[in-house]
Structure 1
């Protein structure tokens, strides 16, 4: 399919799709999808951090890790299962530019399958699990996800952490926008995100096996489930541009949030060395509660608040540190 970019003109783009046909006449037209995006940033497009322009962005974790799991699942399941529902394996293009491939896929899926998709399992940034819990983002999109992953915790021994707050994170959002239950399996944030330092030598191979094991359990279960999930997310049309703007300078504190934190505010899991946050005195385990007096209760509110400022702006950040309220003045940097 063709997509027109403001700075590159019209480009031909491709999603890569494979299927295992369903065997049940009533269910085969209501597939389950497992996905991963295969695009990254190349030499720094469409997103690049200051100072990394023109450098190779390897994208080992984001998202060669997810594509590796996707390929292994397709290879293994093609030989071993005869599912009731059709299983669709899809590697999306254009995720980094604004979910372009996944939104195109969802918009055109009815041309091939008349039934409703039961769910999407999206694999994105899965290469650094180590001894951590596997995060399940957007688990609030169906009430059944909680019980599904309680089951995989038991059958696989791989512990999961369900992230219930709404996050505009990856290609699963394209499904949620259409009222389709969807989750992202995520090994967690790290300081190499969208940097040339996201290289293969930092990948946890054994962790990828864990991710694949959980994904396989969920996928096989969904492929043979007779009844649909009860969607509990917020189905809203995509109002943002299909293409991320390239001219806006993005402000940054240089801190990495704790996605698994379930309290009020945004908890900091780490602060990048030399970043504005470190220079201002922001510390690991600080909980950000307000930005220039604007309350931030979760990651989405924090992200939206930060978008109102430009690099070089000085903002007052309210934080909780060891239960004590503090105010930190920080000069925002540029991503």
Structure 2
């Protein structure tokens, strides 16, 4: 509602306008007077006359332009724009500007605004609505949920604030995603227990890195089993086998001579920078040792470090 020169002006949504214009068009086609139709619909006659004027839509097909002015067409436009925001920004991880570009390239900008400011506000409202629906659905589904034992995967990320994250790995459901002042065991326990309120579940196992706080939270506070993540399991296994494998590699390459031995090594081993040699080791032994060591030189690129850790 707005006041203009003493008159109260009611601003109608695009859908309301389309519905009223559809009703007015049917009555006008039946021969009813325009003044009477406008009065019955609560419109000024000038407003109805303006609505009845053709709308410029550029290169859009005339039939499509006429259809999107109907109530059915407006609902379709609303659904299409929301689907673009949902798919592009939420599922695709792109920004609002990509939505604007889609509307421009598809020609839909002839019917809906494609400015960044308009769609930034719409996207923010969509996020708020999505969070509200998620809370409603979580509460509704939890009421009839059968008991379930859970494994919880926990880790923290930084934005740069500390954000504690817990996920149920079978369904991929995010149990917890919350900022915290620290990542102590007591803090982890407090926020996880709050996140599980209302859910008929019991945490029987926690999977994480080897952080002391996460170990204590799972084993002491939750009285559950702690399982290390894949990397830490591989690391422990490799410590028992790496020296033996290094000895086998050294024996295999020592069967050749000179440059042939060096050429037989994989590229990621041959290109590693050499550390200063000790008096009791030669260059080739140093290269082989480096290829199997977990303590690589800090200047080695990350992709080569990963290759050597396999």
How high is the TM-score relative to the length of structure 1? 0.19
TM (norm. structure 2) is: 0.20
Compare the two structures and name the one with the higher strand fraction. 1
Higher normalized helix content (fraction of residues): 2
Which structure exhibits the higher relative contact order, with contacts defined as CA atoms closer than 8 Å and separated by 6 or more residues? 1
The structure with the largest alpha-carbon Rg is 2
